[in-house]
Amino acid sequence: MGKEIKKAVIIVNLLKPEAEALVDDITAYLDERKIQNEVFGYSGAPITPDIKEADIAFALGGDGTVLFSARTLACFEIPVLAVNMGNFGFITEVSKDEWKDTFEDYHAGRLKLSKRLMLKAAVIRNGKKIKELHSLNDSVISAYGISKMIRLSVQLNGTHLGKYRADGVLVSTPTGSTAYSAAAGGPLLEPEMDAVLLNPICPFSLSNRPLVIPADKKIKIFVEQEQRAEVMLTVDGQTVFPLVPEDVVEFERAPEKALIISSDKRNFYEILRTKLKWSGGPDA
């Protein structure tokens, strides 16, 4: 069954080569079909656009553009057509030459929506919530700078898991399992799994290992009093919030999910094989 599309928004990273030309192609196509459209372009740090209603959003850039778009649009249940302006990303699986076919297939009801779990991080200070942030990829508690160890304590649904002396602790969705978490030695999860990944980053004790846990569990991470470095919370690699000793960061499943329009050109495992060079050859 076809999808009714009356309005589209286009979120575009203007620093990408050919971005403006692609925007012109898409807007001309939509205008010809009497589909109302609005463009939100940015160069450098994106500014959250004022979007409340739309039937579809084009995210033109890389995975970072999709992460920003998903955080902005998920609460309005607006599906995102992610178009990669460079090499294929793990989320942006549609190339700039495939956007029209993908849009038409979705419009005709031939493509499904990939519903991606998102995480909510609440910063508690002196017993009060002072900040709430949502992520599609991951949230990281770490030190400012590099090679600086911090001290954290972790609880899972009220059960004390242990104290971590590490470069940090990473809490990832399945979508984010192919990003920073993978570089930190975490497992790769199918993007639509209902799970959360807790991954210590370069822990002092080698017994601290990544954990895959059900998404309905609540994770609490305590910033211990004794620290030799300033501590921060980073969300999706894009938003940074400073933490202080005795802060508590609570992680749980967000009420909304990111809606990503799936391509039928390639699946998750084909992208893994290509990006990670699972060819069996000398470059694997």
Report how far residue 39's alpha carbon sits from residue 11's, in angstroms, rounded to the nearest whole number. Answer: 6
Mode of pairing for the β-strands spanning 56-61 and 7-13: parallel
Establish how many alpha carbons lie within 13 A of residue 130's alpha carbon, considering only the half-sphere containing its beta carbon. 13
170 to each of 39, 93, 142, 151, 237, how far by Cα in Å? 34, 25, 8, 14, 11
Report how far residue 262's alpha carbon sits from residue 203's, in angstroms, rounded to the nearest whole number. Answer: 36
Report how far residue 64's alpha carbon sits from residue 69's, in angstroms, rounded to the nearest whole number. Answer: 9
Q: Is 227 annotated as a binding residue?
A: no
Q: Is 264 annotated as a binding residue?
A: no
Q: Is 138 annotated as a binding residue?
A: yes
Contact between residue 231 and residue 143 where contact means Cβ atoms under 8 Å apart: yes
Q: Is 165 annotated as a binding residue?
A: yes
Contact between residue 274 and residue 147 where contact means Cβ atoms under 8 Å apart: no
Q: Is 238 annotated as a binding residue?
A: yes
Q: Is 37 annotated as a binding residue?
A: no
Catalytic site includes residue 101: no
Q: What share of the chain is helix, strand, coil (3-state, %, to 5)?
A: 20, 40, 40
Q: Is 64 annotated as a binding residue?
A: yes
Q: Given the residues 31, 63, 101, 236, select the one marked as catalytic.
A: 63
Report how far residue 163's alpha carbon sits from residue 166's, in angstroms, rounded to the nearest whole number. Answer: 10
Q: Which residue in this structure is represented by tokens 């849009």?
A: 103
Positions marked active-site: 63
Binding-site positions for NAD(+) read 63-64, 137-138, 148, 165, 167, 238
